[in-house]
C-alpha cells in the first residue's frame, strides 16, 4: 500500500429534481452572482435552463448566461467566458451540461482570478492558486468532472488538448440527477461507458503497487457500467440503471480508485487527447479505438493482471480472450474500435503520435512513451 492523501470536499446532491435547489446550494457558499455556462440551446427547450434560473432568481442570485460550449471544449470559449465573468464581476459559475461544460467552468473559474492568459495553466506556465466557486448540474455521466479538480480543454490554434487542475477547482456542489441523463443518445452512452473504462483501465493495467481492495473497487465500477449499459441500451428510461451508471462514473475518477496505488500512468488518455485535439473525435470514441490496441501492446508486461481482468470481467482464462471480449463489447454497444470506424484516415497515425508525444513530455512520460512507441500502438488500431 502506497502512502496517499485523500481529499475530496465536493458535496454531491444526487437525485430527482435536485437542480431546482441550485440557488440554495450557491447561497450556501455565499455566492451572490454567477455565470450560467452551458452547451447547446436544447436546455432552454426542455425546461432545464428555466428551472436553474428560477432557482437562482428565488435566492436573489443574479446571473449572466453563456452557451455554446462544444464537445472537446475550446480555449477560445473559455477566454470569452473569463471576460464575461471579469466584466460583470461574477462570483461563481453554474455549469449545466456534461464534462465539457464542467471542465470549461473550472478553467473559467481559475482564469477569473488570474491576470494572464488562462491557457498558461494548461502548459505549466502558471499554477492554479485560486478560483471562484464552481457548481455543476450534470446532464451526462462520463468524465467524473463533477467530483474532481481536473479539466481538459483544447487550444484550437495549436491543436493541443491539455489539462489543468488544482484543489480550488473541486466543484463546491454537484447535482447528479439521473433523470436529466435519460435523453443521452445511444452513441454518447457508449462513449461514456468507454470513458469510464479508460479511467479505470489506465490505472488497472499500469499500477505497480495495487492493493486488492482498490482492484476490487475498480472491478465493481466496471461491472456496474457493463450491467447498466446493457439495461439502458434496451430501456433508456430505466432510472435505477441510469443512477448506478452515473455513480459508477463519479467513483471512477473521484480519488477512490487511486487509494494506495503507485507507479500508474494515463496512457490511453495521452493518446486520445492527441486524437481529440487534432481531429475532434468524441473523447469516448477515441478511447474505444485506443484502449484495445494499447492493451495488446502492454499485456505481456503484466500477464497476471490481464488474466485477472479476463477472468473477473468475462469469465475467460487468458489475457487475449479478455481483450477480445472487451473489444467485442465496445462494438456491441456501438463504440468504434478501428480508425476507419472513428472516421480517421490511416495516415493520421504519425500526426497523432507526434502530438501525443508532446503531451507525454508535458506529463513527464516521454521516456515511457517515445513517439515511435505511440505510433506502434496506433497502428494496431488502424485496421
Q: Does the protein bind its own copies through residue 227 (CB under 8 A)? A: yes
Buried b (16+ CB within 10 A) or exposed e, 53-85: bebbeebebebebbbebebbbbbebbeebbebb
Q: How far is the CB of 32 from its own copies (least distance, A)?
A: 22
**Closer CB to its own copies, residue 252 or residue 287?**
252
Nearest 5 degrees, angle CA 137-CA 275-CA 252?
Answer: 40
Hey, which residues does 74 pair with through a beta bridge? 154
- Helical H runs in 131-238? 186-204, 212-234
Q: Does the protein bind its own copies through residue 258 (CB under 8 A)? A: no
Q: How far is the CB of 256 from its own copies (least distance, A)?
A: 8
Q: Does the protein bind its own copies through residue 18 (CB under 8 A)? A: yes
305 contact partners, CB below 8 Å, separation of at least 6 = 204, 205, 210
Q: How far is the CB of 18 from its own copies (least distance, A)?
A: 7
Q: Which stretch binds its own copies (CB under 8 A): 3-11, 63-71, 196-204, 229-237?
A: 3-11
**Closer CB to its own copies, residue 211 or residue 236?**
211
Among 91, 163, 224, 338, binds its own copies (CB under 8 A): 224
Hey, which residues does 175 pair with through a beta bridge? 13, 137
Residue at grid coordinates 461544460 = 101
**Closer CB to its own copies, residue 38 or residue 170?**
170
Q: Does the protein bind its own copies through residue 262 (CB under 8 A)? A: no
Q: Does the protein bind its own copies through residue 130 (CB under 8 A)? A: no
Q: Is 205 exposed, middle or buried (0-12, 13-18, 19+ CB in 10 A)?
A: buried
Q: Does the protein bind its own copies through residue 244 (CB under 8 A)? A: yes
Q: How far is the CB of 4 from its own copies (least distance, A)?
A: 5
Residue 289, number of CB atoms within 10 A of its CB: 29
d(CA 82, CA 107): 9
Q: Which stretch binds its own copies (CB under 8 A): 127-135, 149-157, 217-225, 358-366?
A: 217-225
d(CA 300, CA 374): 17
Q: Which stretch binds its own copies (CB under 8 A): 58-66, 77-85, 216-224, 297-305?
A: 216-224
Q: Does the protein bind its own copies through residue 47 (CB under 8 A)? A: no
Q: How far is the CB of 241 from its own copies (least distance, A)?
A: 9
Q: Does the protein bind its own copies through residue 183 (CB under 8 A)? A: no
Q: Is 180 exposed, middle or buried (0-12, 13-18, 19+ CB in 10 A)?
A: buried
d(CA 86, CA 82): 6
**Closer CB to its own copies, residue 25 or residue 188?**
25
DSSP-derived secondary structure for 80-107: HHHHHHHHTT--EEEEEESHHHHHHHHH
Residues that bind its own copies (CB under 8 A): 1-9, 11-16, 18, 178, 211-213, 216-217, 220-221, 223-224, 227, 239-240, 243-244, 247-248, 251, 256, 259-260
Amino acid at each position: 500500500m502506497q502512502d496517499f492523501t485523500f481529499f475530496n470536499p465536493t458535496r454531491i446532491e444526487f437525485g430527482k429534481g435536485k437542480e431546482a435547489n441550485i440557488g440554495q446550494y450557491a447561497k450556501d457558499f455565499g455566492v451572490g452572482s454567477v455565470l450560467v455556462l452551458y452547451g447547446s440551446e436544447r436546455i432552454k427547450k426542455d425546461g432545464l435552463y428555466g428551472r436553474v434560473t428560477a432557482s437562482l432568481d428565488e435566492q436573489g442570485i443574479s446571473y449572466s448566461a453563456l452557451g455554446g460550449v462544444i464537445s472537446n471544449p475550446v480555449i477560445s470559449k473559455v477566454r470569452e467566458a473569463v471576460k464575461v465573468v471579469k466584466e460583470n464581476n461574477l462570483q461563481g459559475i453554474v455549469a449545466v451540461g456534461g464534462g465539457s461544460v464542467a471542465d470549461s467552468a473550472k478553467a473559467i473559474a481559475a482564469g477569473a482570478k488570474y491576470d494572464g492568459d488562462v491557457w498558461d495553466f494548461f502548459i505549466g506556465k502558471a499554477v492554479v492558486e485560486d478560483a471562484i466557486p464552481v457548481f455543476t448540474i450534470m446532464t451526462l455521466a462520463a468524465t467524473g468532472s463533477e467530483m474532481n479538480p481536473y479539466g481538459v480543454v483544447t487550444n484550437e490554434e495549436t491543436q493541443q488538448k491539455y489539462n489543468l487542475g488544482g484543489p480550488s477547482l473541486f466543484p463546491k456542489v454537484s447535482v447528479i440527477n439521473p433523470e436529466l441523463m435519460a435523453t443521452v443518445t445511444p452513441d454518447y452512452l457508449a462513449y461514456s461507458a468507454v470513458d469510464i473504462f479508460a479511467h479505470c483501465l489506465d490505472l488497472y493495467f499500469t499500477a505497480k503497487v495495487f492493493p486488492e481492495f482498490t482492484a476490487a473497487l475498480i472491478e465493481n465500477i466496471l461491472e456496474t457500467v457493463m450491467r447498466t449499459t446493457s439495461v439502458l441500451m434496451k430501456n433508456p428510461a430505466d432510472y435505477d440503471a441510469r443512477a448506478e451508471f452515473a455513480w459508477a462514473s463519479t467513483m471512477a475518477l473521484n480519488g477512490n480508485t487511486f487509494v494506495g496505488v503507485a507507479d500508474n500512468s494515463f496512457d490511453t488518455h495521452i493518446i486520445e487527447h492527441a486524437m481529440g485535439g487534432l481531429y475532434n473525435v468524441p473523447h469516448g470514441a477515441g478511447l474505444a479505438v485506443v484502449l484495445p490496441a494499447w492493451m495488446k501492446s502492454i499485456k505481456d508486461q503484466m500477464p497476471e493482471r490481464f488474466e485477472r481482468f479476463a477472468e473477473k470481467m468475462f469469465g475467460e482464462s487468458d489475457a487475449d480472450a479478455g481483450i477480445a471480449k472487451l473489444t467485442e463489447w465496445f462494438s456491441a454497444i456501438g463504440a468504434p474500435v478501428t480508425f476507419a470506424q472513428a472516421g480517421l484516415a490511416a495516415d493520421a497515425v504519425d500526426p497523432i503520435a507526434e502530438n501525443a508525444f508532446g503531451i507525454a513530455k508535458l506529463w513527464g512520460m516521454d521516456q515511457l512513451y517515445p513517439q515511435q512507441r505511440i505510433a506502434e500502438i496506433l497502428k494496431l488500431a488502424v485496421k
